[in-house]
């Protein structure tokens, strides 16, 4: 088990960067990754996870009920539900981010290079090339409903994909997943020595509210990579922005609820603000471990609602993203209810706040909005031995 270290990199929702003047959903690029593909010896065996999900009979022992919602029973820090309604929200969020990136991942050429079939050494000319290729391995941490894992398995049929999560939200996808995709129950915050040196690509998205020490979690993920592998991370931001800066919770019912959730999650020890620390932590870990590969990072700006004027393709694209983001937010408000009730908020007060926030989202869908939600991406290969 990992011995987690305490970092004081807490970022308040009120300390946000100023919004970009550009209306592009992707801005604020940092260094690009330096690719180091190469081929390596020894085949990778499928490392066992903490618990293999077998069937719906496994479900009851993996979940618990909290204020009318089904939540995972493995990690109390991760506060969001694990039921069908939450699966719908996660699926909506997945589609939104996929459309924002025009792909399931940033730096597409680097990911494709990392997942190319690799030749085992030594190479024997007398044997078929295919029999000597090592199958690439991909890990999806916090796989949720499983869309990302399944879509990657379909895009890369010669890659073995493993999706892990705290609860079997992925059970519907698992029933019809391609043969090169499997799902496991695993609390990745407890360390992953069983996956050491296994994967060519590791993907982690929207997992921060269940992690106490995010830099230690990143370090654990880096240890699961093979030489030349790539770690991709994505985290959302609970601080909304307008064109004039951070949104005041006193002026926005939606931001009021998000700020309340931020405070409640922080009080539990969650790194809910992990997004703004991703690039910094990755660069620090690279330096400490002697790495020379550059850290790639960017921020995806997504409007909340379809409020942008104009009929040009860019505005239409952003409004399509905004519609999905508004749907995500509407479901997210309900997903936050158990957390806020446990934090001591009055149920009737929460009901009124949610109604006001839903009205704000409805106005944004009618073109009366002006809010942006930020999604932070960072990606890096590990230091070479």
Angle at 353 between CA 350 and CA 357, to 5 degrees: 135
How far is the C-alpha of 152 from the C-alpha of 130, rounded, in Å? 21
Q: Is residue 12 part of a domain?
A: no
User: What distance in Å separates the CA atoms of residue 215 and residue 219, rounded to the nearest whole number?
Assistant: 6
Q: Is the dihedral of CA 156, 162, 167, 172 positive or negative?
A: positive
* CATH code of the domain in which 273 resides: 3.40.50.150
Minimum mean pLDDT range among 45-54, 165-174, 310-319: 45-54
Average the pLDDT over 71-95 and give the result: 87
Percent of the chain with pLDDT over 70: 78
| Residue 136, in any domain of the structure | yes
Work out the pLDDT band at 9, boundaries 50, 70, 90.
very low
Residue 6 belongs to some domain of the structure:
no
pLDDT at 35: 31
360 located within any domain? yes
Average pLDDT, the chain: 83
pLDDT for 127 equals: 53
CA of 191: how far to CAs of 196, 213, 296, in Å? Answer: 10, 12, 24
156-161: long-range contacts at Cβ-Cβ below 8 A with a sequence spacing of 24 or more? 156/115, 156/180, 158/117, 158/133, 159/115, 159/135, 159/200, 160/46, 160/135, 160/136
CB 199 within 8 A of CB 225: yes
Residue 30 has pLDDT above 50, yes or no: no
Q: What is the crossing angle of helices 214-223 and 278-288, to 10°?
A: 60
User: At 113, which helix (H) or strand (E)?
Assistant: helix 108-114
Identify the sign of the CA torsion 108, 222, 35, 271: positive
> Which range marks the domain in which residue 309 is found?
26-380
Q: Is 107 inside any structural domain?
A: yes
User: Which of 28-32, 48-52, 86-90 shows the lowest mean pLDDT across its residues?
Assistant: 28-32
Helix (H) or strand (E) holding 90: helix 84-101
Lowest mean pLDDT among 11-20, 275-284, 322-331: 11-20
State the Cα–Cα distance between residues 300 and 186, nearest whole angstrom: 29
What pLDDT is attached to residue 204? Answer: 98
pLDDT band at 183 (very low <50, low <70, confident <90, very high): very high
Confidence label for 18 from pLDDT (cuts 50, 70 and 90): very low
Number of structural domains, the chain?
1
Instruction: Please count the residues of the chain.
Output: 385
Closest CA to 101 of 24, 33, 31, 159: 24
Nearest CA among 154, 205, 167, 187 for reference residue 63: 167
List, for residues 299-334, the tens digit of each pLDDT value. 999 999 999 999 999 999 999 999 999 999 999 999
Residue 385: inside a domain: no
| Cis peptide, bond prior to residue 211, ω within 30 of zero | no
d(CA 177, CA 170): 10
Q: Give 206-222 pLDDT, tens digit per residue.
A: 999 999 999 999 999 99
Structural contact between residues 1 and 191, judged by C-beta atoms closer than 8 angstroms:
yes
Asked, for residue 81, whether it belongs to a domain, the answer is: yes
**Positive or negative, the Cα torsion across 106, 108, 110, 111?**
positive
Flag whether 5 is in a domain. Answer: no
Confidence check: pLDDT of 230 > 90: yes
Distance from the Cα of residue 287 to its chain's centroid: 24
User: Are the CB atoms for 375 and 297 separated by under 8 Å?
Assistant: no
Q: What is the pLDDT at residue 46?
A: 42
- Rounded to an integer, what distance in angstroms lies between the CA atom of residue 267 and that of residue 261? 10
Q: Which residues pair with 64 in a beta bridge?
A: 71
Rounded Cα gap, residues 145 and 156, in angstroms: 19
The pTM assigned to this predicted structure is 0.83
Region 200-211: mean pLDDT is: 96
**pLDDT for the residue 47:** 43
């Amino acid at each position: 088990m990992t011995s987690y270290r305490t970092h004081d990199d807490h970022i308040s929702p009120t300390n946000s960067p100023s919004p970009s003047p550009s209306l592009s959903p992707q801005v604020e690029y940092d260094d690009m990754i330096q690719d180091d593909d190469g081929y390596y010896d020894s085949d990778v065996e499928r490392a066992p996870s903490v618990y293999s999900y077998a069937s719906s009979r496994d479900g009851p022992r993996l979940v618990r009920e909290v204020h009318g919602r089904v939540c995972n029973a493995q990690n109390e820090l991760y506060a969001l539900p694990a039921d069908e309604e939450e699966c719908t929200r996660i699926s909506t969020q997945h589609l939104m981010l996929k459309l924002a990136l025009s792909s399931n991942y940033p730096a597409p050429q680097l990911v494709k290079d990392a997942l190319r079939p690799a030749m085992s050494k030594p190479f024997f000319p007398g044997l078929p090339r295919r029999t000597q290729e090592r199958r690439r391995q991909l890990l999806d941490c916090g796989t949720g409903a499983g869309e990302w894992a399944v879509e990657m398995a379909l895009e890369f049929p010669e890659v073995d994909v493993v999706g892990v999560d705290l609860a079997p939200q992925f059970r519907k996808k698992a029933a019809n997943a391609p043969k090169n995709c499997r799902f496991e129950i695993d609390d990745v915050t407890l360390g992953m020595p069983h996956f050491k040196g296994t994967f060519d690509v590791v993907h982690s998205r929207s997992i921060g509210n269940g992690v106490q020490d995010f830099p230690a979690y990143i370090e654990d993920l880096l240890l699961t990579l093979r030489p030349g592998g790539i770690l991709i991370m994505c985290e959302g931001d609970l601080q909304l922005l307008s064109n004039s800066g951070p949104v005041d919770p006193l002026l926005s019912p939606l931001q009021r609820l998000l700020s309340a959730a931020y405070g409640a999650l922080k009080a539990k020890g969650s790194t809910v603000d992990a997004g703004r620390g991703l690039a910094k932590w990755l660069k620090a870990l690279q330096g400490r471990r002697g790495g020379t590969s550059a850290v790639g990072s960017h921020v995806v700006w997504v409007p909340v609602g379809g409020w942008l004027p104009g009929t040009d393709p860019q505005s239409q694209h952003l409004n399509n993203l905004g519609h999905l983001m508004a749907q995500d937010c509407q479901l997210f408000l309900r997903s936050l209810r158990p957390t806020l009730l446990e934090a001591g908020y009055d149920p009737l007060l929460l009901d009124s706040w949610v109604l006001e926030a839903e009205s704000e989202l409805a106005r944004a869908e009618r073109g009366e909005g002006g809010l942006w939600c930020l999604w932070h991406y960072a990606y890096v290969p590990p230091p070479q031995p």
